[in-house]
Amino acid sequence: MSDMAKNRLSDAEIIAMNVMWNRLISVCEEQANALLRVAFGAIVREAGDLSAGIFDAEGRMMAQAVTGTPGHVNTMARSVNAMLEKVANGALVEGDVLVTNDPWLGAGHVFDFVVVTPIFLDGTIVAYIASTCHVVDVGGLGWSAEARSVFEEGVLVPVTRLRRAGVLNEELLDLIATNSRVPREARGDILSLMSCNDEGAKRLVDLMREYGLASLAGLAAFIFERSADATKAAIEKLPEGVYEAEVELDGYDAPIRLKALMTIANGTITADLAGSAPAIAKGINCPLSYSQAYASFGIKVAVAPHVPNNHASLEPIRVTAPKGLIVSAERPWPVTARHVVGQALPDLMLGCLSEAMPGRILAESAGALWVLAISAEGEDGFSSLNVALGGMGARPSSDGLSTTAFPSGVGTVPVEIAETVAPLLYTAKEFATDSGGPGRYRGGLGQEIRIRSARGQTLKLSAAAFERLKKGAAGRDGGLPGLPGHAEISGGRVIDSKGLYAIGPGEELILRTPGGGGFGDPAERPAEILNRDVARGLVSHEAAGTYYQASQDHQVDGGGTGQS
């Protein structure tokens, strides 16, 4: 849509276009909610580890569901085109559905399946609908960072038809189920993806017929042009220049450095990750598409959060890296726990932007989700997947959110559900006192969790995603770091690496997730707010006296240190 065409639109036409745009987003949300309702895996159904989106006939993302994670949605923005390149032009017919879990075409590891459905209207493809979700187990070594290559991480499905002209590919589903330790869930979740796409397709066709649309080209042009203009305008408000930042992660056997050089110029933002560490022989490497997804999110959420996510709003943001780094690992590097690196990239981007947007960027957050991959062997064996959440960094005008999955946005599987789907007993789940970084605004708290077997079994734990055990999330503008995480097995065995651990009968897994960094000088925190934190057990009396007492104006009342 040219400027001249934009100018020719009447007010009524602009309103109608915006109504259709919002309706399109609602179709995506219905699609995502359909997946939430029918998914088999608790990590999808209860925690929302999924995404859904609508793409135009050229494979460009027009809209995404509010429900979902940046690692899924922003990789889908590229993966749909990558999948369509694998299919001969004109080869798709009505009733076809494509699927893959290739980490370099999809969402970064073999556990995430992407399903793409072409939408036909009167015999012509007018759009594509895509969705993705996490399947608990697809064989191989399971959820761990121990694989030496992607070939050991589970069954890998190239771009294949899940359904051909309306006929389900049972052989493919049998192959996936046979390789999974939880075949019912694996099959069910893949069928759930197809079903949610079918629901979205029905809603989209109804929308097009309601408005008399034979094509989405006009609506796509309207969405893309306005999104591009709004994103460019937001970027142009920033001072042009080159900015840099570094983040250090625990890594596996040694610390890992992530480095970014960000250039803001001519209405675009380019982040070069060339200074980051090389790929390693453990499964925490990250395909570039996944790195791009989370880095782009970190930039956009700070610079243009008001612009809906789509092809055009993401296009001015470019993330690059040479091949072979931990942020740009190539096949066949192992990538199971790729989110350990990927979910640290928003903080890296925000570190760069803190130079360009002083006083407006939140402190560092806990980062990667702690994936609780717990299993048992034998006749009563099982495989369970849940997540533990850390704290979000304090914001320039408010405390950080506690036990919040930033940047992924997923929730946890509630204890009541987790104990139903696996023979586990959660004996504690509560805020971790003092874990949030002190500041004028306090960092969000992590949580303390205790888990043991409900049957007296020996449990196997993969600590592949236990990050920030050595160094807490940094504060910003005078704020102090959040506490690093801690993990141990009752009896004193400390979990200090991302390996595999046995939890014996009667033993407990004891976790304290990292807190977010603080923002601003702790001495400036109002006494009444600090007293409230102490009374609620969020900050101990000792920590209040140590970190917040630089000002004589702060007279901290006594308070309990129990959990809240």
> What are the residues whose beta carbons fall under 8 Å from the beta carbon of 325, sequence distance 6 or more?
273, 274, 276, 277, 278, 279
- Res 192 pLDDT > 50: yes
Confidence of residue 9 (pLDDT cuts 50, 70, 90): confident
| Contact assessment for residue 159 and residue 165, using Cβ atoms and an 8 Å cutoff | no
State how far the Cα of 509 lies from the Cα of 491, in Å rounded to an integer. 10
Confidence of residue 76 (pLDDT cuts 50, 70, 90): confident
- Res 442 pLDDT > 70: yes
Kindly report, residue by residue over 480-531, the tens digit of the pLDDT.
999 999 999 998 899 999 999 999 999 999 999 999 999 999 999 999 999 9
Q: What is the pLDDT of residue 561?
A: 35
Query: Among 69-78, 117-126, 170-179, 412-421, which is the least confidently predicted range?
Result: 69-78
State how far the Cα of 72 lies from the Cα of 112, in Å rounded to an integer. 8
Q: What is the pLDDT of residue 97?
A: 98
Kindly report, residue by residue over 301-318, the tens digit of the pLDDT.
999 999 999 999 999 999
Q: What is the pLDDT of residue 4?
A: 39
Kindly report, residue by residue over 371-410, the tens digit of the pLDDT.
999 999 888 889 899 999 999 999 999 999 999 999 998 9
- Res 471 pLDDT > 70: yes
Kindly report, residue by residue over 446-468, the tens digit of the pLDDT.
999 999 999 999 999 999 999 99
- H/E element holding 160? strand 160-164
Residue 474, phi then psi, degrees to nearest 5: -70, 150
Closest residue by Cα to residue 546 from 556, 533, 536, 538: 556
Closest residue by Cα to residue 364 from 256, 515, 263: 515
Q: What is the pLDDT of residue 73?
A: 82
- Res 18 pLDDT > 70: yes
Residue 7, phi then psi, degrees to nearest 5: -65, -25
| Domain spans in the chain, listed from the N-terminal domain onward | 3-227, 362-564
- Whole-angstrom CA distances from 53 to 82, 88, 93 are 15, 23, 20
Confidence of residue 7 (pLDDT cuts 50, 70, 90): low
Greater confidence (101 vs 549) lies with: 101
State how far the Cα of 36 lies from the Cα of 495, in Å rounded to an integer. 33
Kindly report, residue by residue over 242-278, the tens digit of the pLDDT.
999 999 999 998 999 999 999 999 999 999 999 999 9
- Res 557 pLDDT > 70: no
Give percent of the chain above pLDDT 90.
86
Greater confidence (65 vs 365) lies with: 365
Q: What is the pLDDT of residue 2?
A: 44
Q: What is the mean pLDDT of residues 53-65?
A: 95
Q: What is the pLDDT of residue 117?
A: 97
Kindly report, residue by residue over 276-295, the tens digit of the pLDDT.
999 999 999 999 999 999 99
- Whole-angstrom CA distances from 117 to 51, 324, 390 are 14, 33, 36
State how far the Cα of 85 lies from the Cα of 310, in Å rounded to an integer. 20
| Contact assessment for residue 221 and residue 312, using Cβ atoms and an 8 Å cutoff | no
Question: pTM of the predicted model, to two decimals?
Answer: 0.93
State how far the Cα of 383 lies from the Cα of 377, in Å rounded to an integer. 9
- Whole-angstrom CA distances from 297 to 309, 471, 539 are 9, 24, 31
